[in-house]
Amino acid sequence: MPSSPTHSPTPEHSGPRRRSLLGAAAAAPVLASLAGAGTASAAPSPASAATSAGSAAAGPRALPGGGDLGPNVIVFDPSTANIQGRLDEIFQQQESAQFGTGRYALLFKPGTYNGLNAQLGFYTSIAGLGLSPDDTTINGDVTVDAGWFDGNATQNFWRSAENLALVPVSGTNRWAVSQAAPFRRMHVRGGLNLAPDGYGWASGGYIADSRIDGEVGPYSQQQWYTRDSSVGGWLNAVWNMVFSGVEGAPAQSFPEPPYTTLETTPVSREKPFLYLEGDEYRVFLPEKRTGARGVSWGNGTPRGTSLPLSQFYVARPEDSADTLNQALEQGLHLLLTPGIYHVDRTVDVKRAGTVVLGLGYATLIPDNGVTALRVADVDGVRLAGFLVDAGPVNSATLLEVGPEGASADHSANPTTVQDVFVRIGGAGPGRATTSMVVNSRHTVVDHTWVWRADHGEGVGWETNRADYGVVVNGDDVLITGLFVEHFNKYDVQWNGERGRTVFFQNEKAYDAPDQAAIQNGSIKGYAAYKVGDDVTEHEGWGLGSYCYYNVNPSIVQHHGFAAPNRSGVRFHGLLVVSLGGQGQYECVINDTGAPTSGTDTVPSKVVQYP
């Protein structure tokens, strides 16, 4: 690794750092699965699966719980031969396969592994199988870099690291990612470098429930959100760095340096994860925390409950929506093994406490314009670790949490949506009117990237039309780590009361053909983040919106944020940026805040509103 700069890094090149401008990687050909030894399995338990299925004569044959995790879940133990060779083989396939079909989960049994460098490409997840990160130690690195894209990390999406302890070879691990690349439940016994080799552009990112003993160096990272963690130091900030519940975080100082720091996170419940108890696979369900600070596993064993794999239907990509729904109706949870699932009807989660957990960026594609997945207005559903990719026929919605008008109180046991990502276009034509709708009260959305593609296949102002990114109608909803980009109208529209957002990153759609195409009545452009006119209470911390109207740089966006001007609606740490002068903002929020400044890529900021 090159030595650290002796000065604060240059915030942004004077020109735009655009993903599309710098060239999108060609979609990779269909990749062959890596089969063979080391795939995971667990003994099926038909009895547990049939507990609520009724007799076989009354309906379809009961589906079994448990079972083999399939060829794309690759499990290592310390005695496995040539681990590095297998890691390199998968990386070679996935390094530049931005819109490819390969999906992989790399799982490490508890123990110590020496001399490894696990380089992660697209749609690759790496995780330990212990209850604590310290149960699985890699004396080596888990690396993300940007050599495939000439040192530009702004397209390093869709990969993850979880539940491992790392002892980096050089003392510092490199994790140069952008959106949809969570770093969860990790213990780095050293430092963490969030920039690519050469300190090129980067647009991330998300850390949660992790301990980094040394310093975190964002360098060129434009924005970052860190939650419920511990760091040995934090080097610098470019545009927007947000922390909640982080021991060792820099003090609140927005606008200069642009640190927004909350002592605690209002509500958090860590993502479910697969682990081994002896030879048995189980899924751990961490408990809810309020006012959280620091990691959830500080004393080794996390607090929560667990379920045997026999209570999960272990789904394969060839399973139909009918099969997934049958499993849910039997009372089974869903474990989505890596791959691409086409669903021709909605996957309906109706039972309180249901877990839908994806491995290796399992991907749901709705056929015929259906909603991919819908949750009833029930307690404690956990959705985690999967991607919803819009199909070519327009869907009214892609993901719905609670039905319209949902009103039940879920404060004691909310639904959580974690590392669930939504994409419209890029891998091919896709359309959706609204991507994610949250109707259930008290829902916690913890890290999402909802993306109308700006590059790849099937991309254009009308080709991958998607008017709204995230719409929140439910009251008392909390979102921690909200990334929403490029929608034709509002990226976020928040109609519920007492909503809270900790960290927001946005880019307005690049490809608007002219001013008329984005006109919102008398207002120039749709806000990136709109709070409904009737809302009386709302609060947000650390929110940024960027514009890059490269098709028509004369377009003017009046503001990035719109909200009722009343005392109960409050924002802390707002900014807008024009990337290289390709379009401009007149204000930051409503009619407040200075306009962006010509061709200079310099944020315009509002510290508090009102």
Positions annotated as catalytic residues are 507
Residue pair 480/447 in contact (Cβ under 8 Å)? The answer is yes
Residue 522's CB is within 10 A of a number of other CB atoms, namely 6
Residue pair 184/228 in contact (Cβ under 8 Å)? The answer is no
DSSP type of residue 428: S
Amino acid in the structure at residue 273: F
The 10 Å CB-count burial string (b at 16+, else e) for 80-96 is eeebeebbeebbebbbb
Strands 73-76 and 304-308: unpaired
562's tokens: 């719109």
CA distance 198 to 200: 6
Longest alpha-carbon distance in the chain: 74
Residue pair 113/76 in contact (Cβ under 8 Å)? The answer is yes
Hey, what's the torsion of the CAs at 246, 247, 248, 253, to 10 degrees?
Answer: 50
Residues 6+ apart with CB under 8 A from 201: 13, 17, 22, 152, 153, 154, 220
As to burial, measured by CB atoms within 10 angstroms (0-12 exposed, 13-18 middle, 19+ buried), residue 56 is exposed
Left if phi > 0, otherwise alpha if psi is -120 to 50, otherwise beta: which for 240?
Answer: beta
- The continuous run of DSSP H or E covering 90 comes out as helix 83-94
Peptide bond connecting 5 to the previous residue in cis, omega within 30 degrees of 0:
no
| Residue 152, CB-side half-sphere exposure with 13 Å CA sphere | 16
As to burial, measured by CB atoms within 10 angstroms (0-12 exposed, 13-18 middle, 19+ buried), residue 7 is exposed
CA distance 247 to 229: 6
* Sequence-ordered strand ranges (E) for 48-121: 73-76, 104-108, 111-119
Distances from the Cα of 438 to the Cα of 423, 430, 544, angstroms: 17, 21, 22
Residue pair 390/370 in contact (Cβ under 8 Å)? The answer is no
CA distance 311 to 295: 28
CA distance 249 to 224: 12
Q: Which of 261, 311, 265 is nearest to 285 (CA)?
A: 311
DSSP type of residue 31: P
CA distance 2 to 587: 40
Left if phi > 0, otherwise alpha if psi is -120 to 50, otherwise beta: which for 363?
Answer: beta
381's tokens: 């559903």
538's tokens: 């709302």
The 10 Å CB-count burial string (b at 16+, else e) for 395-421 is bebbbbbbeeebeeebeebbbbbbbbb
The residue count of the chain comes to 610
